[in-house]
Amino acid sequence: MVDIGLFGLILVAIAAGFFLGWRQRGRRLQQDSHHFGPSYFKGLSYLLNEQADSAVDAFVESLEVNSDTLETHLALGNLLRRKGEIAKATKIHQNLLARPSLTTPQLHEAQLELARDFVHAGLLDRAEGLLKELVDVNSQYKVEALGHLVEIFQDEREWENAIEAANQLSHRRFGRGSGEPAVARAHFSCELAEDAMERNDVLGARRHLHKALGFDRQSVRASLLLGELESRLGNDREALKVLQRIPHQDPELLVEGLDLVCTCYERLGDHRGLQRYLQELLAQYPSSSLVIKMAEQIRWAQDDYAAADFLGDQLRQRPTIKMLSRLVELHLLHSEGRARENLQLLKQLVDQVLEAKPSHHCRKCGFTGNQLHWLCPGCKTWGSIKAITGVEGE
Ligand SMILES: [Zn+2]
């Protein structure tokens, strides 16, 4: 299918290019009898015959590359890339790079654009080579080049390289979403720590996690992983110390460490300590998961009825579907006959509603899902996904 928009685009570019070329030639020759070079007409005829590839060739041929026309070449190349015409954009940028008449900064700009073409085409090795050159020669496009390099290393899961490139950006934001560089660097270190944990490299994992906290003191992911590491090693007290930092780091991620906190307290046989801790949290940061955990503790210390009473009270204060589901579950344990059948039906309905609703969402782009992604799949921002709150969530 022929893209009419693309033809329009190239036509406009040829017209603009022709105007610039004509103005320049006009100045040189002081005559206007040869405005339309043969390549221009050739380009036009290709357009009329809907041959976009040849039209781009004709454009490249017809418009001399110099300081006056550089912007036109770059603008057309970038527009073509945005429209997904990567091969044509590449042709235009490569044509610019082959012109020694351009100044060094102009050549660097063309090189950056060509690297962007390669990124879009998925030719990451080629893009990486061009971008590294721009960084090495300290080009004025170094920051942009480093931003793209971070993205490439991130996509390739080359975390050490990603940290190194991001370090050179210091406090500047880079590429796509990404978010705060310090936050991103902490996540890169956490990725390295997860790899080390998979290899049972305890020392390596600890080193990466402390580095992550060095980048970002508020890194919940680093605290969670440190807690997991210590608890795996049987250091439950140490794990608790780390995990209990999470509510202060980011209360919105508090529920993510809750299961592990409970496991550590339970393994230590410290049910009173757990109840006290849950109570303190509940007073400051009420959520469905906390209420359900607290109800479990009441159930363990007293009985199902006391737990159901507690859940009922909490539901009246802050109704959520999750708490309702747990309350119905508790009542089901002590009901029979018709009442039990009705409760089962209610439980089914409530659980269907819960299943249909996402549990997490991205604060930045609105992406929703049923698990916590540290890197938002929608906008590629680190740490922007949180648990959903309200009746349908926490
Ligand atoms: Zn997002």
Domain end among 119, 150, 170? 119
125 pLDDT above the threshold of 50: yes
Phi, psi torsion values for 28, nearest 5 degrees: -70, -45
**Residue 81 scores a pLDDT above 50:** yes
Burial label for 30, CB within 10 Å (0-12, 13-18, 19+), is exposed
CA of 154 to the centre of ligand 1 (A): 16
Can you give the pLDDT at residue 180?
75
- Residue 104: count of CB within 10 angstroms of its CB: 10
Residue partners of 227: CB distance under 8 A and separation at least 6 = 239, 240, 242, 243, 257, 260, 261, 264
Residue 110, domain member (yes or no): yes
Mean pLDDT of 183-209: 97
Tell me how far apart the alpha carbons of residues 318 and 358 are, in angstroms, rounded to a whole number. 19
Ligand 1 mean position, distance from CA 352 (Å): 26
Which has the closest alpha carbon to 299: 327, 318, 277?
Answer: 327
Rounded distance from Cα 330 to ligand 1 centre (Å)? 37
Give residue 330's pLDDT. Answer: 93
Asked whether residue 173 carries a pLDDT value surpassing 70, the answer given is no
Instruction: State the distance from the centre of ligand 1 to the C-alpha of 362, rounded, in angstroms.
Output: 5
**Domain that includes residue 29, residue range:** 4-119
Please give the pLDDT value at position 172: 59
Task: Provide the pLDDT for residue 42.
Answer: 63
**CATH at 382:** 2.20.28
Strands 368-369 and 385-387, sheet pairing: unpaired
pLDDT given at position 86: 92
Tell me whether residue 140 is in a domain: no
- Per-residue pLDDT for 100 more than 90? no
Output the CA–CA distances (angstroms, integers) from residue 84 to 3, 118, 175, in the order listed.
11, 12, 19
Helix residue ranges per DSSP H, the chain: 4-29, 38-48, 52-62, 70-82, 86-97, 104-121, 124-136, 142-155, 159-169, 181-198, 202-215, 220-232, 236-243, 246-249, 258-267, 271-284, 288-301, 304-317, 321-332, 337-356
pLDDT of residue 254: 92
Q: Tell me what pLDDT residue 29 has.
A: 39
Distances (CA, A) of 82 to 56, 79, 220, 375: 15, 5, 37, 24
Q: What percent of the chain has pLDDT over 70?
A: 84
The pLDDT, as a whole number, for residue 69 is 83
pLDDT, tens digit, 9 for 90 and up, residues 223-268: 999 999 999 999 999 999 999 999 999 999 999 999 999 999 999 9
Distance 9 CA to ligand 1 centre (A): 32
pLDDT digits (tens, 9 = 90+) for 22-77: 555 444 434 333 445 556 666 656 555 556 667 777 777 767 777 778 888 898 88
- Ligand 1 centroid vs 384 CA: distance in angstroms? 6
Confirm whether 293 is domain-assigned: no
pLDDT at 387 over 70: yes
In angstroms, what is the span from residue 374 Cα to ligand 1's centroid?
Answer: 10
Q: How many CA atoms lie within 13 A of 191 on its CB side?
A: 21
Residue 246, domain member (yes or no): no
343 within a domain of the structure (yes/no): no
- The pLDDT-based confidence of 271 (bands split at 50, 70, 90) is very high
Please report the pLDDT score of residue 315 as a whole number.
93
C-alpha 380 to ligand 1 mean position (Å) = 6
Calculate how far, in angstroms, residue 210's C-alpha sits from the geometric centre of ligand 1.
27
Distances (CA, A) of 216 to 186, 221, 266, 393: 6, 10, 30, 28
Q: What is the pLDDT of residue 12?
A: 59
Q: Specify which residues 368 forms β-bridges with.
A: 361
- Look at residue 65 in the predicted model and tell me its pLDDT: 77
- In the reported structure, the alpha carbon of residue 277 is separated from the centroid of ligand 1 by a whole-number distance in angstroms of 32
Domains in the chain, number:
2
- Pick the last residue of a domain from 57, 88, 119: 119
pLDDT at 199: 97
Q: Alpha-carbon Rg of the chain, whole angstroms?
A: 30
Residue 291 lies in a domain: no
Distance CA 65, CA 253 (A): 54
Q: Is residue 372 part of a domain?
A: yes
Cα(368) to ligand 1 centroid in Å equals 9
Residues linked to residue 382 through DSSP beta bridges, in sequence order: 375
Residue type for position 273: G
Taking the centre of ligand 1 as the mean of its atom positions, its distance from the CA of residue 383, in whole angstroms, is 9
Average pLDDT on 124-147 reads: 93
| 91-95 average pLDDT score | 92
Ligand 1 centre to CA of 185 (Å) is 18
Q: How far is the CA of 358 from the centre of ligand 1 (A)?
A: 14
Of the three residues 61, 84, 119, the one that is the final residue of a domain is 119
43, 255, 275 from 271: Cα distances, Å: 80, 19, 6
Reported as a single tens digit per residue, the pLDDT across 301-356 is: 999 999 999 999 999 999 999 999 999 999 999 988 998 999 999 999 999 988 88
Tell me whether residue 379 is in a domain.
yes
Taking the centre of ligand 1 as the mean of its atom positions, its distance from the CA of residue 179, in whole angstroms, is 10
Q: What is the mean pLDDT of residues 173-189?
A: 74
> Does residue 377 surpass a pLDDT of 90?
yes
202 pLDDT tier (thresholds 50, 70, 90): very high
- Residue with structure tokens 């329009």? 8
Say what percent of the chain tops pLDDT 90.
66
Average pLDDT of the chain to the nearest whole number: 86
- The predicted pLDDT at position 41 comes to 60
Q: What is the pLDDT of residue 390?
A: 83
Average pLDDT over residues 146-155: 94
Whether residue 368 has pLDDT greater than 90:
yes
